[in-house]
Amino acid sequence: MTGWNERLIAIKILNRFEKDKKLKEHIEKFTSRLHPQDRAFIREIVSGTVRFLRLLDFSIEKATGKNLKRQKNTVRNSLRVIAYQIFFTNVPPYAALNETVEAVKKILGKKAAGFVNAISKKIIGFDYKKEIERISDYFERLSILYSFETWMVKRWSNFYGKEEIEKLLKGLNRVAPLFIRVNTIKISQQELLNLLEKTKIDAEPHPFIPYMIRIKGRVPIESIPGYKEGFFYIQDPASFLSAYLLDPKQGEIILDVGAAPGGKTTALSSLTIDKARIIAVDINKERMKLLKNNLKRLGISNVELVLTDIQKDKNFIEKHENSFDKILIDAPCSATGVIRRHPEGKWNKSLKLIKYNQTIQRNLLSSCYKLLKPGGVLLYSVCSLEKEEGEDILKFAQEIGFKESSLYNLPELLKSFAKKHFLRVFPHKNNMDGFFYSKFEK
């Protein structure tokens, strides 16, 4: 239970978040030099506050009678931090209150701190569930309780049914488990498990997806044995499935579109023991640097990096037309399927964004059709829950010439979730990020 300084940093991060709806960059900037324990505490407070933002605001306003929009950002976010600790952590309420009030004093002075101290006491003991039950509208009630935009909840209820919606919201609110993918170029899964056991890291293999290991408890990534040596890559099983379902083979020429920062590229390399020729394409220069570093750490040499946008790069299309045995498109998308990892995703989405991404996804498929060999295979994936970015793409793919291809190497326990040549996985059903996959042939 750290002190006022960690809460001060959390408030500053939340102040930045309010301006641009970004989180990861601000957390890294403010915590990179801190002790791992302090860093973890701040990350939990900030991520949790953002995850339950709508519920916290509702509760604070009901409990205190204050309009949060009229408050200074530091006051507003200090109240949110206090409410989150009281509702969702084991921090004693008065410790949460006193330490946060002290942080406000350091930023704004005694008067503001006294104001926060006085009104935040009303949050202690507030029964938000009882207050939410009074809301008559079903979707509004769900949206506040699980802290989502109402339009998102209505859409998902329409897509997946009323019987599923509450389970889905609960799944998206759970903190995602930590999984690592074994880099088989350097080590076997059993050897890595033995290494983890020797160093007292509690871990277990994924129950039905190969090469995946779950790390139990809270462990700083850098302290996991084998990190520096490149024995593993941090990756959710759903992300790994994109590469696994493509079924890459040694000697094949493979294109990875939207490759950076390298989770799927390095998975393709690992699955082929670095004996396939992989061309990794991305448009983001900074993320490509991360991919380059990951290739080096993992000991991968058979990957060619190309910084380009294949939607517009006619030279690339002409050079590689009908060249690739297999293509993996990890398409830009709304990323609603990874909200449990990136809670800021609750507040920076829109229907406009979803439609915009759909246009890019279609353009990428059109470009990749030209690049794929006759008889070649393409795997399309998005970390999205939206039908426009998943099922609706299938018809377009067939209109431009793609044929359905079987997901023949699907793990046994996922077969019941697949429909023909596509698959959706969910946090609440499969304990992995929300992903959509579809496989095509030319």
How many CB atoms are closer than 10 A to CB 245?
21
- Sign for the pseudo-dihedral over CA of 373, 242, 25, 298: negative
- For residue 282, say whether it is annotated as part of any ligand binding site: yes
- Rounded to whole angstroms, the Cα distance separating 334 from 389 reads 8
Q: How far is CA 302 from CA 70, 274, 352, in A?
A: 57, 6, 39
Catalytic residue among 104, 383, 410, 423: 383
Pairing of strands 277-282, 303-307: parallel
Pairing of strands 435-441, 403-404: antiparallel
Give the side-chain half-sphere CA count within 13 A for 420. Answer: 7
Nearest of 78, 72, 76, 55 to residue 7 by alpha carbon: 78
What secondary structure letter does DSSP report for 217?
A: S
- For residue 127, say whether it is annotated as part of any ligand binding site: no
- Sign for the pseudo-dihedral over CA of 223, 225, 231, 234: negative
Pairing of strands 203-205, 212-215: antiparallel
Whether 383 is catalytic is yes
365 contacts: CB under 8 Å, gap ≥ 6: 329, 378, 380, 393, 396, 397, 400, 402
Q: Is 111 exposed, middle or buried (0-12, 13-18, 19+ CB in 10 A)?
A: exposed
Whether the upstream peptide bond of residue 261 has omega within 30° of 0, thus cis, is yes
The phi-psi region of residue 247 (left if phi > 0; otherwise alpha if psi is between -120 and 50; otherwise beta) is left
- Sign for the pseudo-dihedral over CA of 157, 410, 381, 434: positive
- For residue 325, say whether it is annotated as part of any ligand binding site: no
Q: What is the largest CA-CA distance in the chain?
A: 72
Give the side-chain half-sphere CA count within 13 A for 285. Answer: 0
- Rounded to whole angstroms, the Cα distance separating 248 from 239 reads 15
Nearest of 48, 58, 63 to residue 14 by alpha carbon: 48
Please report, in range form, the residues annotated as the binding site: 282, 309, 330
Known catalytic residues are 383
Please report, in range form, the residues annotated as the binding site for S-adenosyl-L-methionine: 282, 309, 330
